[in-house]
């Protein structure tokens, strides 16, 4: 089956710093989504981004489908950005997501 | 809009008991899915539905049943609970195959 690797596994940032999270996948995909799981366990959809670049406030994402990777950029990080960031992909066309193991981000004041 | 609502939030079962985890969405989404999350891991797909009356198996379907009689509801049934089913269960919905998923707040299930 498809492999989804996220890096780094853990990241500690000072408030105000910028960061880049990476998601590599081993096969072509129809669909790629980024999620943030906050410390209380809630999963929030950040981006639906099978290709191209999107921006939402301090967050932006780029997917280069032909090279099988996606990047999530967080600028001017805040303590509320802490949590686990998941990349998830779908190969089936039925929006069946296969999740990576996540990047745990800790932002310290 | 309540979004995706899951009940209960917490549940403790004894081995062999059965129960139903409820999931409802009020966004008129066609696609609904159930995932489980085990400690330190990403989410794994249990069952999914692309519309009322249509369900199919995901990556880890054994021990679980689903049905989709309405667009709004997608309950997950544990037939005979086992300790290996201790997990956090998430329900999610999406407008279609090319849209992002909205997740419920999860049900934390412990089987003793």
**What's the pLDDT tens digit per position in B66-109?**
999 999 999 999 999 999 999 999 999 999 999 999 999 999 99
Query: Which residues of chain B are within 8 Å of residue A99 when distances are taken between CB atoms?
Result: 35, 42-44
CA distance to A31, B60, B111, per residue, from B50 (Å): 16, 18, 30
d(CA B41, CA B37): 6
Residue window 4-43, chain B: list those with CB within 8 Å of chain A: 31, 33, 35, 40-43
**What's the pLDDT tens digit per position in B12-50?**
999 999 999 999 999 999 999 999 999 877 899 999 999
CA angle (A43 as vertex; B40, A98 as ends), nearest 5: 65
> Dihedrals φ, ψ of A41, to 5°?
95, -5
Beta strand pairing status for A10-14 and A19-25?
unpaired
């Amino acid at each position: 089956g498809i492999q989804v690797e996220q890096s780094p596994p853990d990241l500690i940032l000072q408030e105000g710093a910028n960061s880049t999270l990476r998601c590599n996948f081993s096969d072509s995909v129809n669909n790629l989504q980024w999620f943030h799981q906050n410390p209380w366990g809630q999963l929030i959809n950040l981006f639906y981004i099978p290709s191209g670049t999107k921006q939402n406030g301090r967050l932006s994402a780029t997917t280069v489908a032909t090279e099988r990777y996606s990047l999530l950029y967080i600028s001017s990080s805040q303590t509320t950005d802490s949590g686990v960031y998941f990349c998830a992909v779908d190969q089936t066309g039925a929006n069946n997501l296969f999740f990576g193991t996540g990047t745990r981000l800790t932002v310290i004041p | 809009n309540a979004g995706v609502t899951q009940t209960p939030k917490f549940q403790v079962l004894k081995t062999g008991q059965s129960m139903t985890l409820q999931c409802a969405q009020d966004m008129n989404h066609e696609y609904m899915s159930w995932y489980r999350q085990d400690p330190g891991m990403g989410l794994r797909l249990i069952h999914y539905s692309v519309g009322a009356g249509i369900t199919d198996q995901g990556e880890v379907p054994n021990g679980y049943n689903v049905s989709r009689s309405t667009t709004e509801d997608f309950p997950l049934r544990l037939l005979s609970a086992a300790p290996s089913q201790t997990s956090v269960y998430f329900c999610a919905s999406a407008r279609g195959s090319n849209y992002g998923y909205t997740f419920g707040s999860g049900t934390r299930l412990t089987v003793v």
